[in-house]
C-alpha cells in the first residue's frame, strides 16, 4: 500500500474513533448519572464539579483513543488531531460554555483535545518504555 492509502485509512479510523467518543459523551451526559454523582461528591462546589465532570470525560476520550488505535494500527497523531479538534468543534457547536467562566469554558469545550493530548503522551511514554525494555537501544553483546 502506498502512503496516501495508509493516511486515508488513518483518517477514516480516526473519524470512527471521534464518533465513538461523541456518542459515548452524549449517552453519559444525557443519562445524568455522572453529573448527579459528581455533584453529590463535590457538594455542588461550582469550581470542583466542572473540573471532575469534564476531567472524567477527558479520561474517557483518552481511553477510547488508546483502546481503538492499536487494533487498527492507526497513527496516534492523526487520531489525536481529528478526535481532539473535531470533538472540540462539534462540542462548541452544540454546547458553548464560553459565557460561564474561563476555566469552565476551557474544560467544557476542550475536553476532547485534552483527552487526545493525554493519549499522545501516554502512547509516547509507553513506546519509550517498550523500547527501553526490549533492549533495542542496548549495545551488542561482547563475546
Q: Report pLDDT digits (tens) over 39-88.
A: 999 888 878 888 899 999 999 999 999 999 989 888 999 999 999 999 98
C-alpha cell at 59: 479520561
**Tens digit of pLDDT for each residue in 124-134?**
888 876 555 55
Residue 83: which residues within 8 A CB-CB, separation 6 or more?
14, 17, 18, 21, 61, 64, 65, 112, 115, 116
Residue with cell 455522572: 34
Q: Which pLDDT band holds residue 3 (cuts at 50, 70, 90)?
A: low
**All structural domains of the chain with their residue ranges:** 3-131
Amino acid at each position: 500500500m502506498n502512503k496516501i492509502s495508509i493516511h486515508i485509512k488513518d483518517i477514516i479510523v480516526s473519524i470512527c474513533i471521534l464518533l465513538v467518543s461523541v456518542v459515548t459523551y452524549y449517552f453519559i451526559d444525557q443519562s445524568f448519572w455522572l453529573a448527579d454523582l459528581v455533584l453529590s461528591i463535590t457538594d455542588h462546589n461550582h469550581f470542583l464539579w466542572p473540573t471532575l465532570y469534564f476531567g472524567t470525560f477527558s479520561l474517557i476520550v483518552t481511553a477510547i483513543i488508546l483502546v481503538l488505535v492499536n487494533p487498527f494500527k492507526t497513527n496516534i497523531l492523526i487520531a489525536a488531531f481529528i478526535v481532539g479538534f473535531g470533538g472540540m468543534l462539534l462540542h462548541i457547536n452544540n454546547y458553548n460554555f464560553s459565557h460561564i467562566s474561563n476555566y469552565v469554558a476551557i474544560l467544557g469545550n476542550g475536553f476532547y483535545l485534552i483527552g487526545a493530548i493525554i493519549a499522545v503522551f501516554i502512547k509516547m511514554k509507553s513506546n519509550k518504555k517498550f523500547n527501553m525494555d526490549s533492549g533495542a537501544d542496548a549495545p551488542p553483546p561482547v563475546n
